[in-house]
């Protein structure tokens, strides 16, 4: 089954490719001829995921899905959440986002947080949504070189490593995205594959 992943984030593509298995052929935005930046200006992860997937479905007429992910820090009223990509400002780097988050959390004894991924899939003109979460703590400093985004400061509960210290396979087994994709794959296999 061919399905387009509506993302500009190559790290997400690598993770999802590993999770999908050989029954699915993942098409990139480039492969379907979509070169424009996809808008994501909604106020929720659900809204952003839907906005990206719906745009691609309606303009390129391919079955597709999008993932919107946020890091929700409990002591910061679940910020940065839907603003995770531009926490320090829209043209600032990932390093700036991480530094701002560590700074804002400096005085807080509560380091609890969760990553949450929402997948919106448009298949044959119908929308389906899937969610995955993982709880953990924000570390005091960055650690590890793998992964991307906030991975160097997120240690999932029950593990003594940040996501950036894990292999992709290890992260995928327990991560927000891994869990959301597992539900999505199960759904696709049940409903669209023989």
Environment class of 72 (CB within 10 Å of its CB; exposed 0-12, middle 13-18, buried 19+): buried
Q: Are strands 64-73 and 79-81 parallel, antiparallel or unpaired?
A: antiparallel
Binding segment (CB under 6 A) for ligand ITT, from list 1-9, 104-112, 120-128, 135-143? 1-9
Instruction: List CB contacts of 123: < 8 A, sequence separation 6 or more.
Output: 3, 63, 192
Task: Single out the residue of 150, 166, 168, 180 in contact with ligand ITT (rule: CB under 6 A).
Answer: 150
Q: Is 92 annotated as a binding residue?
A: no
The nearer residue to ligand ITT, 84 or 120, going by C-beta atoms, is: 84
Listed residue (67, 57, 72, 81) closest to 16, CA to CA: 67
| HSE toward the beta carbon, residue 7, CA cutoff 13 A | 21
The nearest distance, CB 168 to ligand ITT, in angstroms, is: 10
10 is in an annotated binding site: yes
* CB-nearest residue to ligand ITT: 149
Q: Which tokens sit at 194?
A: 């023989």
Contact between 56 and 121 under an 8 Å Cβ cutoff? The reply is no
Query: Judged by CB under 6 A, does residue 162 bind ligand ITT?
Result: no
List the one residue from 13, 40, 112, 128 that touches ligand ITT (CB under 6 A): 40
The residues that bridge with 4 in the sheet, in sequence order, are 27, 64
Q: Which is nearer to ligand ITT, 24 or 55 (CB)?
A: 55
Give the footprint of ligand ITT on residues 68-87 (CB under 6 A).
Answer: 68-69, 84-85
Could you give the count of Cα atoms lying within 13 Å of 159 in the half-sphere of its Cβ? 20
Secondary element (H or E) of residue 81 = strand 79-81
The answer to whether 124 is annotated as binding is no
Q: Is 183 annotated as a binding residue?
A: no
**Does 41 count as an annotated binding residue?**
no
68 is annotated as an active-site residue: yes
From the candidates 41, 67, 68, 103, give the one annotated as an active-site residue. 68
Which residue numbers belong to the known binding site for Mg(2+)? 68
Please give the positions annotated as active site.
68
Q: Which residues bind ligand ITT (CB under 6 A)?
A: 7-9, 12, 40, 67-69, 84-85, 94, 147-151, 163, 175, 177
Which residue numbers belong to the known binding site? 7-12, 68-69, 148-151, 171, 176-177
């Amino acid at each position: 089954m061919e399905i387009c992943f509506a993302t500009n984030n190559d790290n997400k593509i690598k993770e999802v490719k590993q999770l999908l298995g050989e029954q699915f052929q993942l098409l990139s935005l480039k492969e379907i001829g979509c070169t424009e930046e996809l808008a994501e200006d909604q106020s929720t992860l659900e809204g952003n995921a839907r906005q990206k997937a719906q745009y691609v479905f309606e303009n390129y007429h391919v079955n597709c899905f999008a993932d919107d992910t946020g890091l929700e820090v409990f002591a910061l009223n679940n910020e940065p959440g839907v603003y995770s990509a531009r926490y320090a400002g829209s043209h600032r780097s990932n390093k700036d986002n991480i530094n701002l988050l560590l700074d804002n959390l400096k005085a807080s004894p509560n380091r609890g947080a969760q990553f949450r991924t929402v997948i919106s899939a448009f298949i044959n003109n119908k929308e389906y949504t899937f969610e995955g979460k993982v709880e953990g703590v924000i570390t005091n400093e960055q650690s590890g070189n793998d992964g991307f985004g906030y991975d160097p400061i997120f240690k999932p509960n029950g593990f003594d490593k940040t996501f950036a210290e894990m292999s992709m396979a290890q992260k995928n087994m327990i991560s927000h995205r891994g869990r959301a994709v597992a539900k999505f794959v199960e759904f696709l296999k049940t409903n669209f594959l023989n």
